[in-house]
Structures are given as C-alpha cells and as structure tokens.
Structure 1
Amino acid sequence: MATLIPDAERNYLADQEAARITHLSLHEGSPGVTGANEAAGGSPAYARKAVTFNAAGAVGPLGASAQPATVGVAWSSEVTFDVDAATYSHWGAWSAASAGTFRQGNVLSSSQSPTGQAQIKLSIGVGPFAGA
C-alpha cells in the first residue's frame, strides 16, 4: 500500500530540508555520502557558493519554465562557480562555506568539461518527495 502524504506535509518537509543547506559545491566525481571529489584550484579559485531557497511548492526564483511550482520541492537560487579545467559531474549541498556537514549530492543534468578557467552556473531543487 502506498503512503498517502498531503501536499502541505510534502512542502513542509522540503522546506525543512532546504533550511539545512547554506552552500552548494561542484564535484569531479561522485561525492558519495561524505562530499568527496569536491572541485579545487583555479584563478579565481573555486569556492562553495552561498544559496537560498524559495518556499516549497512555489515557482522558483528562475521562473516557471526553469523551476515550476512542484509539490514537495524547494528551488534554489542560481550560483556561479569559478572552476579550473576538469570534468564536473556532480553537485553537493552543505551546511557551511568550508568544512560543515555534507547534506546531499547528485549528478548534474549534464557533465561540464571546460578546457580552461571557466564559470559554471547551478541551481537545484530539494525535497524528500521531489516529483511527487
């Protein structure tokens, strides 16, 4: 039997998850459960980026075509990373700009492989019931 969870509860849980995330990261491989393979180097140097989230279930800050109102999903602002030449395949979410607690990570919608110093833009949606 499927678990029945009202939309208001899905949105509440997504908001709780988003509130624990303050920074996003890029990774050159799977971050696993520890935040491994985080990007480094470059000039200007790579650094985690501060992020904010809208209320779950509402259209995200990038607009309805990029971040449609989705029950159980809180959309993030867009952040821009300075990166060195490498292949970036995953993102991560953290509780701090350095060190901190790794909250989650996943694959990028498509890997990015700049051949020199570049910028990569990223925004994510979080929530335990994404796509619900």
Structure 2
Amino acid sequence: MAIAVAATRQVLADAYKGLNGGSTVWVSLHTADPGTTGTSEASGGSYARVQGTWTSGTGGALTMAELTFNAPAGNFTHAGLWSASSAGTFHDKCALAPSITLGSAGTIKVTPSFSVS
C-alpha cells in the first residue's frame, strides 16, 4: 500500500536519514550485490568510502550531493551505506543502474537519493 499523506512519507524518510544517529553516512562501491552484510566492497588503488550528508526533501524524499570516488579498474554494480569510513555497521544498499565499468583506475560519480512511496 502506498502512503497517501506526503508529510507521513517525509517523516519515514527522515527516520531513514537518522539510521546512523544523524544525517551523515559513509557511501561505498561494490563489485557485486553486497547482500545484508556489505560484502564485495571495492578495494585497491586509492579507493575509500566517501562521506555524504542526507538533506530532507518533501513528500518522502532525501537527497545527497554528488559524491566522487577514486576507484580501481573493475565493474561496480552497487553502492552501500555505512556508519563509518572503515568497518562499521552496514545499513543499506542499492544497485547502480546501469553498472559502471572502468578499464583502468579513475573516478566514479554517484548522487545518492532515497524516497518513500
């Protein structure tokens, strides 16, 4: 069932934003579906998780500024949300559509968003 009231959708979206105790999370890249534990995170070269901050929209939406990752060569299929820059708690995932393939080390730009319907 879709949630009909926009204000209710936004309350739920803002609760998602607070999963980490605030609006800041660390975003990761993955070379396969990370499941529920965050497996298959990218590694090598100068890859590192990137910190991002959710901002509230309206009607159940959250947005984040575009994030830039330094990534090694490879195929990247998913992004993940974490509580810390390394280790930490894995909160969620989403598929990159389309997946991104780098033939050599380079940068990947991702603009995270979240919505409740």
Q: With structure 1 as the length reference, what TM-score do the two structures score?
A: 0.79
Q: Does 1:118 align with 2:106?
A: yes
The residue number in structure 1 matching 2:65 is: 77
- Give 5+ residue unaligned stretches, structure 2: none
The residue number in structure 2 matching 1:55 is: 56
Question: How many angstroms apart in 1 are the aligned matches of 2:17 and 2:64?
Answer: 8
Match for 2:77: what amino acid?
Answer: S
Between the aligned residues of both structures, percent identity stands at: 35
Match for 1:79: what amino acid?
Answer: L
The residue number in structure 1 matching 2:89 is: 101
Is the 1:48–1:97 Cα contact (8 Å) retained in structure 2? yes
Deviation at 1:56, TM superposition (A): 3.0
Question: How many angstroms apart in 1 are the aligned matches of 2:76 and 2:3?
Answer: 37
Deviation at 1:96, TM superposition (A): 1.1
The residue number in structure 2 matching 1:38 is: 41
Q: Does 1:92 align with 2:80?
A: yes
Relative to structure 1, the CA distance from residue 6 to residue 84 in structure 2 (aligned partners, 3 Å threshold; closer, same or farther) is same
Q: Does 1:20 align with 2:23?
A: no
Question: How many angstroms apart in 2 are the aligned matches of 1:74 and 1:33?
Answer: 22
Question: How many angstroms apart in 2 are the aligned matches of 1:56 and 1:100?
Answer: 27
Deviation at 1:15, TM superposition (A): 1.3
Deviation at 1:19, TM superposition (A): 2.6
Q: 1:74 aligns to what SS in structure 2? A: strand
Is the 2:3–2:9 Cα contact (8 Å) retained in structure 1? no
Relative to structure 1, the CA distance from residue 115 to residue 107 in structure 2 (aligned partners, 3 Å threshold; closer, same or farther) is same
Question: How many angstroms apart in 2 are the aligned matches of 1:47 and 1:41?
Answer: 9
- Give 5+ residue unaligned stretches, structure 1: 58-70
Q: With structure 2 as the length reference, what TM-score do the two structures score?
A: 0.88
Deviation at 1:6, TM superposition (A): 2.0
Question: How many angstroms apart in 2 are the aligned matches of 1:88 and 1:47?
Answer: 14
Is the 1:15–1:56 Cα contact (8 Å) retained in structure 2? no
Deviation at 1:76, TM superposition (A): 1.2
